[in-house]
């Protein structure tokens, strides 16, 4: 007889949402997490009344009404709209690429003028690709220029992408950028989704709401006492690295990762926006996050006399660092499929989430996936 119906390894969004639904189904759950806190990468730390996104900026967005209603049933979400700004050598450009960006770049004021400018800069690259043996872009640089032209590529794509991946764009595969959103309207809203926002009071409110009344243990590594944990519950929900679960028997999957330099500043407003991307190669970090702008608007910004910023750096991953972004190239995807074949044969283990499925997920699709699962 098992003590629990489910042992849930990891208290991020997949694990916490699964635990919430399992509890509603009268299942007894235990959630364990190797970190000293719950919430996975959406965890926030409160400093000077500001909720700091400790693992990078997280902006919830979805067009799925069921998902939006679900998260708002746990905690109210605010009106935050993601409208990042790019800083290239001191010049500012709105993102995503839209008519505001094109006016800042070229002084054009109509969609027709902007289209003509972009098409004139794409023409040579499109001809080069067309005349190549494959008819396909040879690398990321060719792909990006064929989509948005040379000016936008050189100022807003190239340096940022090379910092993200640690390689020249000419050495990166074209599939990394399948498309670059270009909007011929004056609209700085980064997302096209119907709903977006940040939990009022920060993401910890969402995690706490999902895990309320569920036994949870932090600072606990499943692999340090695996035999014990595998016998404690009828089923295991595993949200960690799938290759680690199988002892890396086929080899290790690769990731990119990021680290943050956090600063508390004695000023109420450092950059006037939550997210500013630094797109030139000579600035070592990729972006600066000013956390208070996720939850404070208008005069409220100045009622809090301090601010907290995080400079984000993209680096190569190793075992001592947090794995953030799966590198879904053919080699890694093939390796993952070997592990997935093993996972598919498991009768007591459910694999879910970014690390267990070796797939980048936004937050809403994770919740949607769990809401659509049969939990019996």
pTM: 0.93
Q: Is the same domain home to 38 and 155?
A: no
* Residue 256 bears catalytic tag: yes
Mean pLDDT across the stretch 265-290?
97
Residue 222 confidence (pLDDT): 98
Confidence of residue 177 (pLDDT cuts 50, 70, 90): confident
- Chain centroid to Cα 372, Å, comes to 21
In a domain, 276, yes or no: no
Q: Is the same domain home to 108 and 139?
A: yes
Q: Is the pLDDT of residue 272 over 90?
A: yes
In a domain, 264, yes or no: no
Among candidate residues 26, 79, 179, 227, the one labeled active-site is 179
Q: Is the pLDDT of residue 142 over 80?
A: yes
In a domain, 235, yes or no: yes
Q: Is the same domain home to 101 and 143?
A: yes
Q: Is the pLDDT of residue 376 over 70?
A: no
Among candidate residues 162, 312, 357, 368, the one labeled active-site is 312
More confident residue, 328 or 333: 333
Q: At what angle do helices 65-74 and 363-371 cross, to 10 degrees?
A: 90
Residue 179 confidence (pLDDT): 78
Last residue of a domain, one of 176, 204, 235: 176
Residue 223 confidence (pLDDT): 98
Mean pLDDT value across the chain? 96
Residue 293 confidence (pLDDT): 98
The DSSP symbol for 249 reads T
Q: Is the same domain home to 40 and 171?
A: no
Query: Considering only CA atoms, which of 200, 168, 161 is closest in space to residue 80?
Result: 200
Q: Is the same domain home to 67 and 138?
A: no
Confidence of residue 134 (pLDDT cuts 50, 70, 90): confident
Among candidate residues 151, 256, 259, 313, the one labeled active-site is 256
* Residue 312 bears catalytic tag: yes
Cα 296 from Cα 293, distance rounded (Å): 5
Q: Is the pLDDT of residue 349 over 90?
A: yes
* Residue 226 bears catalytic tag: no
In a domain, 321, yes or no: no
Residue pLDDT, tens place only, 8-18? 999 999 999 99
Cα 45 from Cα 60, distance rounded (Å): 18
Cα 228 from Cα 250, distance rounded (Å): 25
Among candidate residues 48, 151, 154, 362, the one labeled active-site is 362
Q: Is the same domain home to 241 and 132?
A: no
Q: Is the same domain home to 53 and 158?
A: no
* Residue 212 bears catalytic tag: no
Mean pLDDT across the stretch 324-349?
95
CB atoms within 10 A of CB 8: 28
Last residue of a domain, one of 120, 144, 176: 176
Cα 328 from Cα 200, distance rounded (Å): 34
Among candidate residues 2, 246, 302, 360, the one labeled active-site is 360
Q: Is the same domain home to 223 and 199?
A: yes
Q: Is the same domain home to 221 and 338?
A: yes
Q: Is the same domain home to 9 and 138?
A: no
Q: Is the pLDDT of residue 215 over 90?
A: yes
Split into its structural domains, the chain has a count of 2
Cα 128 from Cα 253, distance rounded (Å): 35
* Residue 362 bears catalytic tag: yes
Rama region for 103: left / alpha / beta (φ>0; ψ in -120 to 50; rest): alpha
Q: Is the same domain home to 204 and 344?
A: yes
Q: Looking at residue 366, which CATH number applies to its domain?
A: 3.40.50.720
In a domain, 359, yes or no: yes
Mean pLDDT across the stretch 90-104?
98
More confident residue, 136 or 204: 204
Q: Is the pLDDT of residue 232 over 80?
A: yes
Residues 6+ apart with CB under 8 A from 358: 242, 253, 326, 328, 332, 333, 336, 339
* Residue 142 bears catalytic tag: no
In a domain, 28, yes or no: yes
37: exposed, middle or buried (C-beta count within 10 Å: 0-12, 13-18, 19+)?
middle
In a domain, 127, yes or no: yes
* Residue 35 bears catalytic tag: no
Q: Is the same domain home to 240 and 339?
A: yes
Give me the percent of the chain exceeding a pLDDT of 90.
90
In a domain, 18, yes or no: yes
**Domain span at residue 332?**
4-81+195-251+327-371
Last residue of a domain, one of 122, 145, 176: 176
Among candidate residues 183, 190, 255, 357, the one labeled active-site is 183
């Amino acid at each position: 007889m098992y003590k629990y119906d489910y042992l849930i390894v990891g208290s991020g969004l997949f694990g916490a949402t699964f635990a919430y639904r399992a509890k509603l189904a009268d299942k007894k759950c235990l959630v364990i997490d190797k970190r000293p806190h719950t919430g996975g990468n959406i965890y926030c730390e409160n400093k000077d009344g500001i909720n700091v996104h400790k693992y990078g900026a997280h902006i919830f967005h979805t067009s799925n009404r069921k998902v939006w209603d679900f998260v708002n049933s746990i905690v109210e979400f605010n009106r935050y709209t993601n409208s990042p700004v790019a800083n290239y050598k001191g010049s500012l450009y709105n993102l995503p690429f839209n008519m505001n960006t094109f006016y800042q770049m070229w002084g054009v004021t109509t969609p027709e003028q902007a289209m003509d400018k972009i098409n004139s800069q794409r023409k040579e690259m499109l001809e080069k690709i067309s005349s190549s043996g494959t008819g396909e872009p040879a690398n990321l640089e060719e792909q990006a220029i064929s989509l948005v032209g040379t000016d936008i590529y050189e100022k807003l794509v190239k340096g940022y992408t090379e910092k993200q991946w640690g390689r020249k764009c000419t050495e990166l595969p074209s599939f990394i950028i399948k498309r670059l959103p270009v909007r011929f309207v004056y609209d700085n809203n980064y997302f096209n989704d119907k709903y977006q926002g940040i939990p009022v009071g920060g993401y910890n409110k969402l995690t706490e709401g999902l895990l309320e009344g569920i036994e949870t243990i932090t600072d606990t590594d499943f692999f340090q006492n695996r035999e014990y944990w595998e016998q404690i519950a009828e089923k295991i929900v595993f949200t960690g690295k799938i290759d680690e679960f199988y002892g890396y028997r086929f080899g290790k999957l690769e990731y990119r990762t990021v680290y943050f330099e956090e600063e508390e500043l004695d000023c109420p407003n450092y950059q006037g926006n939550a997210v500013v991307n630094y797109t030139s190669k000579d600035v070592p970090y990729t972006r600066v996050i000013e956390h208070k702008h996720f939850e404070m608007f208008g005069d409220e910004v100045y009622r809090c006399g301090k601010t907290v910023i995080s400079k984000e750096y993209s680096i190569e991953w190793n075992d001592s660092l947090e794995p953030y972004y799966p590198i879904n190239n053919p080699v890694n995807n093939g390796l993952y499929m070997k592990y997935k074949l093993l996972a598919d044969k498991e009768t007591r283990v459910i694999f879910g989430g970014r690390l267990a499925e070796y797939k980048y997920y936004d937050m809403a699709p994770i919740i949607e996936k769990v809401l659509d699962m049969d939990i019996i």
